[in-house]
Amino acid sequence: MIKASIIGATGYVGIELIRILAGHPAVTLVHLVSQSFEGQKIGEAYPHLAARCETLEGMNFEKIGGDSDVIFTALPHGASAETIQKLAPYGKKIIDLSADFRYDDVATYEAWYKVKHPAPELMRQAVYGLPELHRAEIQKCQIVGNPGCYTTCSILGLAPAVQKGFIDPDSIIIDAKSGVTGAGRKPSTDLHFSEVNESFKAYGVGTHRHTSEIEQEISKLAGKPVVLSFSPHLIPIQRGILATIYAKLTGEIAHGDFVRLYQEFYKDEPFVQIEEKGLPQIKYVRGTNLCRIGFVVDPRTNRVVIVSVIDNLVKGAAGQAVENMNLLFGLPETAGLDNSPWYL
């Protein structure tokens, strides 16, 4: 059995990791670390897990590094890199769910996150953990930078069209909506029920940090630097992301051409599904590691509209982290993740 530890176990991503790994056929949980709930049973922090007996622990680098085969870090940016800097010498596999190891260029990270990276040498060794694009590199690395939720949804929606040249990459506009869990569990006035319910707002327009992450990966696919517009929105649901992506077509390209291109590009990908007709909804993926993608080609404006949906806590975070763990240990990629969506 693979011995797994989770640092930051009581945030929304951490608790989703526990839910998924508890049902994984090849994993046993050995350390669950939580500064806020140290010494308590996991069922005291989350009563729905009352049947589990694990006690939440404080940080002990020697114990965690010695006992674990894989360590998931679900901490804020900056703090995550400092923690991993101390764990990396133990040689264990590390999957980081912060932004600290997602970037190829330290300067880009520091410019967007406004902090100095504490471990740039480790950052350069890490692999961006989007399996559909970087599977071979992930299988050979020690540190995986698990992608952001908006970025996963947006990149998967764009990748085939950008690589094949179906769209002008300089024309890309991404209009994305996320459920409230995307903001994490830390209390905030603007996330109170009465602030969010029956409302819908844009935030971080032109400045959201995930913009740079999307641009990094889309630039690789385009073979040139790409600057795009990304506008995130908060919607009053718990979980899920829907990205509506607009781009100019580069020729007379029909709806069927997009369907065939995407089906071919993702033919061996267990978690990407293409809509032949219609557009996907968040209900189609909730609780799963799936990404579903659909299209509308608008010849009047010479644009394509791509709609991509994921569950932000699963394919956008914990599920993709488990998918990466499966790759690191040579397991079937779907292990622990092959479940149907929660439609209701």
> Looking at 53, 141, 149, 153, which residue is catalytic?
149
The domain ranges of the chain are 2-125, 150-312
The string over 207-223, giving b where at least 16 C-beta atoms fall within 10 Å of a residue's C-beta and e elsewhere, is: ebbbbbbbbbbbbbbbe
CATH code assigned to 150-312 = 3.30.360.10
Strand-strand pairing, 201-202 and 229-234: antiparallel
Query: What amino acid occupies position 323?
Result: E
What is the band of 188 on the pLDDT scale with cuts at 50, 70, 90? confident
Structure tokens at 248: 């100019």
pTM: 0.95
pLDDT in tens, 240-282: 999 999 999 999 999 999 999 999 999 999 999 999 999 999 9
- Residue where the block lists tokens 């069927």: 256
What is the band of 195 on the pLDDT scale with cuts at 50, 70, 90? confident
pLDDT in tens, 205-214: 999 999 999 9
Query: Nearest Cα to 42, choosing from 27, 64, 21?
Result: 21
Whether 231 and 202 have beta carbons less than 8 Å apart is answered as yes
CATH code assigned to 2-125 = 3.40.50.720
The partner residues of 246 in beta bridges, in order of sequence, read: 173, 305
pLDDT at 36: 87
What is the band of 49 on the pLDDT scale with cuts at 50, 70, 90? confident
Strand-strand pairing, 303-310 and 291-298: antiparallel
In the predicted structure, residue 194 carries a pLDDT above the cut 90: no
- What is the DSSP annotation of 8-33? STTSHHHHHHHHHHHT-TTEEEEEEE
149 annotated active-site: yes
